[in-house]
Structure 1
Amino acid sequence: MSERQVRVYPRFERFWHWTQVVLIVTLSVTGFSVNGVFALIPFKAAVMVHIIAALLLLALWIFATFWLFTTGTWR
């Protein structure tokens, strides 16, 4: 008997969610470093990484909105 692999979520949704997880965790860690809660990353590097992660997250949201409306998967 052969097993058939069933994917519950499409590839785009998995990419979108896991990318958000990575970016939000990055924003949290760098935000705590910038705030001074802990000094895991030097201040200047934390600010730069924080800004880049925020811009990437915004770009991901814009791309996801575009993708959902153009493919019709928002319904």
Structure 2
Amino acid sequence: MDEARLSSDRSKIVKHLETIDQRAAELYKNIGNAPTEQPRLALSYIEALANALEELRVVEEEVCEHHEELYQA
């Protein structure tokens, strides 16, 4: 069961990394297309990427905590 949970956790992290990678590519493309006279638009894309990375950090932290519990048990 522990191996199944570890595999599930790894899959969850990989899925989030893929999502973040897709968002980053979209945001990078959009920033490149943003008119220079609209820096707020570019900033909103950067903030969206930062939020996505924070989501990943939270998931990674939860997975690490779970792994610590498994290894202490």
RMSD over aligned CA atoms reads 2.6
Q: 1:64 Cα deviation (Å)?
A: 2.2
Q: Distance in 2 between matches of 1:10 and 1:25?
A: 23
The answer (yes or no) to whether the contact 1:27–1:54 under 8 Å persists in 2 is no
Runs of 4+ in 1 over 2 A off after TM superposition: 9-13, 31-34, 42-45
Q: Which ranges of structure 2 fall in alignment gaps of 5 or more residues?
A: 35-40
Q: Which has the higher contact order (CA 8 A, sep 6+)?
A: 2
Deviation at 1:52, TM superposition (A): 0.9
**How far apart in 2 are the matches of 1:50 and 1:26?**
7
Larger proportion of helix: 2
For normalisation by structure 1, the TM-score amounts to 0.55
**Letter of the aligned partner of 1:49 in structure 2?**
A
